Chain A
Amino acid sequence: MHWEDVLNNLGFLMKGLGVTLQLAVLSIAGSLVLGTVLGVIRYVKIPPFSPLAAMYIEFVRSIPLILFIVFIHFGFLPFILGTSASFFVSACVALIIFTSAYVAEIVRGGLNSIEKGHIDAAVSLGLTGFQRLAYIILPLAFARMMPALVSQFIALIKDTSLASTIGLIELTRSGEIIYERTYHEFEVLAFIALIYFMICFSLSKLSKKIEIKI
């Protein structure tokens, strides 16, 4: 066994981990916001926007993430910005677009699951449509959506490793760089897998705590 490969390169791996975590946090935040907006638009059925949101969701869910990352980095962002974007920005944009489609469907499902009685009660108290969403329907829906959202975000955390394909030096790519030199893949990959596991497992545990509170 060659665990010294891991030990000697610990600093380098931790730097990769830092990139992975930043990418994950930003993408989770971005896709949560975008996905919620899209899900609400589908729920309230505003004529031109709701079908557009539905098309966006169908389109995004039908294409593999890895193609998104490549296409956004080499095609979409250079076209929009007029210059090439960093690996990090490209990966982040791709993950947000991709995950927001799934979050939107989760949000829509959660909103639709709210009992008619609670909505009737909110309407009959005189709350406006926006107030009903903000104070009653969305908070109730989010409490219910927690488990589905957490699985989606756990998938996202693991998917950040796909950013290595365009050259972003995150956790997985840092590992590759090490074993391309040392040829001891197993130890490095096992160590990286353990780190992904610990991140995802603690997120899952944390969400259970929040669920109980609500």
Chain B
Amino acid sequence: MIRLENVTAYYKNLCVLQDITVNIAKGSIVALIGPSGCGKSTFLKCINGLVPVRSGRIFIEDTEITSKNTDLNRIRSEVGIVFQQFNLFPHLTVKKNITLAPVKVKGMKLEEAEDLAVSLLKKVDLLDKIDKYPEQLSGGQAQRVAIVRSLAMQPKVMLFDEPTSALDPQMTQEVLDTIKSLAKEGMTMVVVTHEMSFAYEVADRIIYMDKGRIKEGIEN
């Protein structure tokens, strides 16, 4: 599903990913752990083209996203990413946050996108927040809306970058439960996390990174 072949990435002169080769199977759940600054976020950002690779190749299904001819925006719409800081658009309501990309990027009809938003919000138990602005949500609610925003693009893969590290324990649980329910539905996921118990409970595989290299992959 996701294949990285000898991927190397730099920020200016700083080498952040060194010769990474990984294969992530369809429907599997990978937890990515490692010390701060080891390149976990960069790893995720390479997979949806937010950070360009210096060398090596990345495939999503059979499309090489590192090829010059690939329409990156189309790939991005198939790879959802959820950030530590939620990054909901503060000037848009929850509904607008969710429907904007499906309508503008995928050309979905507005009513269709709104129906989708309603059904996804129901799943995470936040339908009552549909007309609220992001600042009116708690951290846990905002993160679940961010997850819904990604899901509304009907992605093939979901990437999570420390989705709970800005949250207190109770809100962390809400978000982890949402991710678990996605796992049950068979979504392919890569989750950067410090929640070791969560990693052991949910992940099929735990990848340990250090200084831009993959140290080991533990089959869970």
A: which residues have CB within 8 A of B?
A: 115, 117-118, 120-128, 131, 135-136, 139-140, 143, 214
Contacts and interface: CB of A to CB of B under 8 A. Distances in A.
Given A125-B77, A126-B74, A135-B104, A143 B91 contact: yes
Contacts of B50: 120, 123-124
25 contacts: A117-B87, A118-B89, A120-B45, A121-B87, A121-B146, A124-B48, A124-B76, A124-B79, A125-B76, A125-B77, A125-B100, A125-B105, A125-B150, A125-B153, A126-B74, A126-B75, A126-B101, A126-B105, A126-B106, A126-B153, A127-B104, A127-B105, A135-B104, A136-B89, A140-B89
Q: What 4 A-B pairs are tightest by C-beta distance, nearest first?
A: A126-B77, A125-B101, A121-B87, A126-B76
Is chain A's binding surface mostly helix, strand, loop or mixed? helix
A115 B88 CA distance: 11
B149 interface: yes
Contacts of B91: 139-140, 143, 214
Nearest to B105: A126
A86 to B, nearest CB: 41
A128 to B, nearest CB: 6
Contact of B87 (A118, A126, A139): A118
Interface string B85-115: 1011111000000001100111000000000
B76 A121 contact: no
Interface in B126-166: 146, 149-150, 153
Contact of B100 (A118, A123, A124, A135): A135
Contacts of A115: 87
Contacts of A143: 91
A122 B90 CA distance: 12
Contacts of B104: 127, 131, 135
A117 B149 contact: no
A124 B81 contact: yes
